[in-house]
Structures are given as structure tokens and as C-alpha cells.
Amino acid sequence: MAYASNAQTSAPFNPLGLIAGFFRAIGNGLVHLAESNHRVNRARTLMELSDEELAQRGLKREDVVKHVFSDIMYV
């Protein structure tokens, strides 16, 4: 038999925890911003295609990122 408890302990005030939480929130926001970029979504969609489907589009799997970001990135 399993027992569950929802008891909460009160932790002492931790200013370093507040600072870490602030920077964690900023980092999570930046990750969310980057992942919601339409280019990232397009690259993710193309990477989900099979190699045959990519070949029909004239792409190789290793060139997907270069193709999606070609107008803003020079390699």
C-alpha cells in the first residue's frame, strides 16, 4: 500500500534561490523564444520527413539546416 502526503515544509528565506530563479526564468523564456521561431519549426518539420521524401525535394538530411537558414546564414 502506498501513502501520499501533501504536507509542505517552510524553507528559510534564501536570497540565492531567488536570484537563481530569476535567471532560470530568463533562460526558460529565451529557450521558448528560440523554439517558437518559424525557421526552427520548418527545420523540425523537414527533419521528420524520410530520406526518400527529402530526396524528392532535392535535399539531403545533413543540408536541412543550411537550407532553412540559408538567407540569414553564410556557410
Residue count of the chain: 75
The conformation of residue 6, written as its DSSP 8-state character, comes to -
The C-alpha atoms of residue 66 and residue 37 are separated, in whole angstroms, by 16
**What integer pLDDT is reported at residue 14 of this predicted model?**
86
Say if residue 18's pLDDT is above 80: yes
**What integer pLDDT is reported at residue 22 of this predicted model?**
95
Say if residue 11's pLDDT is above 80: no
Nearest by Cα to 49 from 34, 59, 39: 59
Say if residue 7's pLDDT is above 80: no
Q: What is the pTM of this model?
A: 0.54
The C-alpha atoms of residue 2 and residue 34 are separated, in whole angstroms, by 42
Nearest by Cα to 19 from 9, 11, 27: 27
